[in-house]
Amino acid sequence: MPNCTTVTEFLLLGFSDTRELQILHFVIFLAAYLAALVGNLLVITIVTTDHHLHSPMYYFLANFSILDLGAISVIVPNSMANAVLNNRIISYAGCVSQVFFFFLFCTAGFALLTIMAYDRYIAICKPLHYGIIMNRRACVQMGASVWVAGAINSAVHTGSTFSLPFCHSNIINQFFCEIPQLLKLSCSDTYRRELAALAFSVFLALGCFVFIVVSYVQIFTAVWSIPSEQGRQKAFSTCIPHLIVVSLLLSTSGITYLKPISDSPSPLDLLAAVLYSVVPPLMNPVIYSMRNREIQAALKQLLHRLILSKTKLPIFVS
């Protein structure tokens, strides 16, 4: 067995050692973070303030925006601070927190996408029973189950990973604490249990994906039988964004967690991590707003109210 030392901190991989490129990294991540922040907060605000959007579909969408905000906030601000301060160090406790919360938000997000597919299936294939099945109590229970499932899955992975002894090095070949990279640092054969946990998560993700696919096969079958072209367009406008978001999340995360782990830092690894950790929270509000007419109408009304409130002049009576 190699000599093991207690790891109290980790060294993250920077995008560059050149100061100008570090500043560019900060600017790009800041722009992406602010765009994701504004986009997701707009979705949450619109759904909360517009009574026309007080339905299960938009309740789940607002929850999804909250999860997106959480996922990107766990990683990007820390990476920006490291770029500005030219610092690569993250404490052991900070790394544990980053792994736990990022896995929590990502797992809960995918579980919520599965529930959203079920919601669309009931709305389109069983519209007469929609109000009974997707009642307020059921929606709250589904929303709570998403957070519970995410917390349990995250706790299992975090506990399995950080119960391993880290002997080889404390250098993580990634710009945040990523489980596959952490497993490379372990000098114990017990890493196989974490691989088993990852395999179990992949199995669950595939199960959710199959459920989503089956749901949408039935949805599209029902949509094509709608005689009105306007009705078909409305159904597609609520389904297509969801499918795009599912495809984006699965493709970007699958690239990272299913590909072989390289022994040396790779620009491809950094790019893949950016694609699944930064791009989805940034693009999801855009995807939903581009295809959803109700969100577009609610956004226009919100902007109209804000403009009127700022241009309205006070009246003074002499």
pLDDT in tens, 62-92: 999 999 999 999 999 999 998 888 888 999 9
pLDDT band at 317 (very low <50, low <70, confident <90, very high): very low
pLDDT band at 258 (very low <50, low <70, confident <90, very high): low
Q: Indicate whether 168 pLDDT > 80.
A: no
Region 4-13 average pLDDT = 77
Q: How far apart are CA 168 and CA 186, in angstroms?
A: 7
Q: Indicate whether 315 pLDDT > 60.
A: no
The rounded Cα 204 to chain-centroid distance in angstroms is 17
Region 195-221 average pLDDT = 80
Which residue would you say has higher pLDDT here, 301 or 73?
A: 73
Task: Report H helices in the chain.
Answer: 19-49, 56-85, 92-125, 130-133, 136-162, 179-184, 191-224, 229-258, 267-277, 279-291, 293-311
Contacts of 245 by beta carbon, 8 Å cutoff, 6+ apart: 113, 280, 284, 287, 288
Q: Name the percent of the chain lying above pLDDT 90.
A: 28
Mean pLDDT across the chain: 82
Q: Token pair for residue 195? A: 């691989």
Looking at residue 316, its pLDDT comes to 44
Question: Which amino acid, residue 180?
Answer: P
* Least reliable range by pLDDT among 156-160, 196-200, 210-214, 271-275: 196-200
* Least reliable range by pLDDT among 200-209, 262-271, 273-282: 262-271
Global pTM reads 0.85
Looking at residue 193, its pLDDT comes to 63
Q: Which CATH architecture has domain 9-311?
A: Up-down Bundle (1.20)
Domains in the chain: boundaries? 9-311
Which residue would you say has higher pLDDT here, 42 or 300?
A: 42
Q: How far apart are CA 229 and CA 214, in angstroms?
A: 24
Q: How far apart are CA 197 and CA 177, in angstroms?
A: 17
The H or E element spanning position 171 is strand 171-172
310, 293 contact by CB (below 8 A): no
Q: Quick one: three-class SS letters along 204-261?
A: HHHHHHHHHHHHHHHHHHHHHCCCCHHHHHHHHHHHHHHHHHHHHHHHHHHHHHHCCC
Q: How far apart are CA 44 and CA 38, in angstroms?
A: 10
294, 57 contact by CB (below 8 A): no
Residue 169, SS3? coil
Work out whether strand 89-91 and strand 9-12 pair parallel, antiparallel, or are unpaired: antiparallel
Q: Indicate whether 5 pLDDT > 60.
A: no
Residue 309, SS3? helix
pLDDT band at 263 (very low <50, low <70, confident <90, very high): low
* Least reliable range by pLDDT among 11-25, 77-91, 131-145, 257-271: 257-271
Region 47-51 average pLDDT = 88
